[in-house]
Amino acid sequence: MAVDWSAVTAWFGRVPRFHDCEIVSIDLRRDPEPTIVRLHAFEMSSEIDERGYFKLVKHALVTFQLRGIIEQDFAYWNHQNALNELTIEDGERGDRLVFHGTYGIHGEIETKSIAITLEPVADTDVEKTLVAGRR
């Protein structure tokens, strides 16, 4: 099944790997309600801040709306849920949203359909958005 990444590519210019991004919430629901996965995404620039860290830019809250959950298997949910990478792959009966975890969540959700939306976040609102996304 084809997943529409246009909201993400319009903001980032490509489909990112979501390296070091964090899953801020998963709202599992039974059909016909959608399951919602929210991800704090950003791009790492080549600029260094005053503390010596790479500056993070293009902050966004990316929402994956999953309909028709077929199977889910994830573990290690914690207070951070940082990713090495997030991918969408072909499953046996649908699409699989795969969490390649670095610290926290690791696993996958197979579903009949995935819709993706993106909400840009101003640099000044990043912490507030992360807290709101966790609710």
pLDDT tens-digit profile of 31-48? 999 999 999 999 999 999
The whole-number pLDDT of residue 132 equals 53
Its pTM stands at 0.90
Q: Is the dihedral of CA 44, 42, 84, 17 positive or negative?
A: negative
Confidence of residue 58 (pLDDT cuts 50, 70, 90): very high
The whole-number pLDDT of residue 125 equals 78
The structure tokens listed for 8 are: 């993400």
Asked whether the predicted pLDDT for residue 121 surpasses 70, the reply is: yes
The structure tokens listed for 81 are: 């849920």
**Which carries the bigger pLDDT value, residue 131 or residue 9?**
9
DSSP 77: -
The whole-number pLDDT of residue 105 equals 97
- The string of DSSP codes covering 59-70 is EEEEEEEEEEEE
Confidence of residue 131 (pLDDT cuts 50, 70, 90): low
Of 69, 96, 70, nearest to 3 (Cα)?
96
The whole-number pLDDT of residue 84 equals 97
Q: How far apart, in Å, are the Cα atoms of 36 and each of 26, 29, 107, 114?
A: 6, 8, 16, 10
The whole-number pLDDT of residue 2 equals 83
3-state secondary structure of 99: strand
Average pLDDT rounded to a whole number, residues 28-32: 94
Average pLDDT rounded to a whole number, residues 98-125: 94
